C-alpha cells in the first residue's frame, strides 16, 4: 500500500506529480482512452501511475474545474457526459470565439513566424488519405481548431478555445461519424485554412462559423440516448 505522504518518487515534487497526473488523464480523454460516462477508479489509477491518492484527487479537482470530469455520489469521479442542451450551448460559445480567432488569424498570418507555424500545424488537412476512423480524425480536428486559435495572436483567446473544445463533445458524437461526414469536415477545414492564409478575415470567420453551425446541427439531429438525460 502506498503511503500518501512519502510514496511519491523522489525526483518529482507534489506539484509536478499532480501535473503529470492531470496530463495523463487529459490525454486519455483527448485520445479516447477514457470515454464519456466512464468511471475513473482511484485504485487502478494510483497503481498505473505510481502515485498516491492525494495527487490523484487534486488532479480530479482540477479537471472538474475545467469541466472534463465530475464527481457523482456513490460512483466517484467519472468522465463528464454532456446533455444535449450543454452540447448546443458549448457549440454557441465555440462558434463565437472561433470566428473571432479565425478573423484575427487572417490579420496576423503575415506576422513573422505565424504563417510557418500555422502551416506546420495544419499540414495533415491537405492529405488525401481516407478519413474513415473517427478516433484518429478527432485528434486532427482538435489540432486544426487549436492552430487557428493559436494563430490569432491572442493568448487568452487561445486558452479559452483549448478549454471549450471539450473533446467530450466530439467523442460523444463519434459513433455517428461516417467517412462522408469526416470528408465534409476536412473540406471545410481546407476552406477555413485557405481564407486565413489568404488574409481574408471575413471569409475565414464565415467559413468557421458555417463549419461549427453544421456540427451543431449534426448534434441536434442525433438520438437522445447519445447524451446524458439531465
Q: Which CATH class is domain 14-79?
A: mainly alpha
Average pLDDT over residues 25-38: 83
Model confidence at 11: pLDDT above 70: no
Q: What is the pLDDT of residues 141-179, one digit of tens each?
A: 989 999 999 999 999 999 999 888 666 787 778 778 899
Q: Which CATH superfamily is domain 84-226 in?
A: GntR ligand-binding domain-like (1.20.120.530)
Q: Other CB atoms closer than 10 Å to residue 91's CB: what's the count?
A: 20
- pLDDT, residue 7, reads 38
Average pLDDT over residues 210-226: 93
Average pLDDT over residues 221-230: 86
Sign of CA dihedral 220, 224, 225, 228: positive
Average pLDDT along the chain: 88
Burial of 107 (0-12, 13-18, 19+ CB in 10 A): middle
Are the C-beta atoms of residues 51 and 3 closer than 8 Å to each other?
no
Q: What is the pLDDT of residues 82-116, one digit of tens each?
A: 899 999 999 999 999 999 999 999 999 999 999 99
Chain region(s) in the chain for CATH 1.20.120.530: 84-226
Model confidence at 226: pLDDT above 90: no
Q: What is the pLDDT of residues 33-61, one digit of tens each?
A: 888 889 999 999 999 999 999 999 999 99
Burial of 13 (0-12, 13-18, 19+ CB in 10 A): exposed
In terms of pLDDT, which residue wins out, 120 or 178? 120
CA distance 43 to 1: 10
Q: Choose the weakest-confidence range: 40-49, 124-133, 206-215.
A: 124-133
pTM over 0.95: no
DSSP the chain: ---TTT-S-TTS-HHHHHHHHHHHHHHHHHTTSS-TT-B--HHHHHHHHT--HHHHHHHHHHHHHTTSEEEETTTEEEE---BHHHHHHHHHHHHHHHHHHHHHHHHHTTSTTHHHHHHHHHGGGG--S----HHHHHHHHHHHHHHHHHHTS-HHHHHHHHHHT-HHHHHHHGGG--HHHHHHHHHHHHHHHHHHHTT-HHHHHHHHHHHHHHHHHHHHTS-GGGSB--
Determine the distance from the C-alpha atom of residue 10 to the mean position of all C-alpha atoms in its chain, rounded to a whole number: 32
Amino acid at each position: 500500500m502506498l503511503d500518501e505522504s512519502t510514496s511519491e518518487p523522489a525526483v518529482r515534487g507534489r506539484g509536478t506529480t499532480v501535473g503529470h497526473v492531470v496530463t495523463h488523464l487529459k490525454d486519455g480523454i483527448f485520445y479516447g482512452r477514457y470515454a464519456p460516462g466512464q468511471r475513473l477508479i482511484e485504485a487502478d489509477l494510483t497503481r498505473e501511475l505510481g502515485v498516491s491518492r492525494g495527487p490523484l484527487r487534486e488532479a480530479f479537482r482540477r479537471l472538474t474545474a475545467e469541466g472534463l470530469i465530475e464527481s457523482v455520489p456513490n460512483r466517484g469521479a467519472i468522465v463528464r457526459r454532456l446533455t444535449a442542451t450543454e452540447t448546443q450551448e458549448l457549440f454557441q460559445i465555440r462558434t463565437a470565439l472561433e470566428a473571432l480567432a479565425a478573423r484575427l488569424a487572417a490579420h496576423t498570418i503575415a506576422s513573422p513566424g505565424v504563417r510557418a507555424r500555422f502551416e506546420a500545424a495544419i499540414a495533415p488537412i491537405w492529405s488525401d488519405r481516407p478519413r474513415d476512423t473517427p478516433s484518429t480524425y478527432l485528434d486532427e480536428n482538435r489540432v486544426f481548431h487549436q492552430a487557428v486559435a493559436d494563430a490569432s495572436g491572442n493568448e487568452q483567446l487561445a486558452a479559452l478555445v483549448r478549454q471549450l473544445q471539450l473533446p467530450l463533445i466530439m467523442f460523444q458524437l463519434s459513433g455517428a461519424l461516417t467517412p462522408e461526414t469526416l470528408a465534409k469536415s476536412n473540406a471545410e477545414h481546407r476552406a477555413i485554412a485557405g481564407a486565413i492564409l489568404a488574409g481574408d478575415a471575413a471569409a475565414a470567420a464565415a467559413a468557421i462559423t458555417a463549419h461549427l453551425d453544421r456540427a451543431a446541427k449534426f448534434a441536434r439531429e442525433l438520438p437522445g440516448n447519445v447524451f446524458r438525460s439531465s
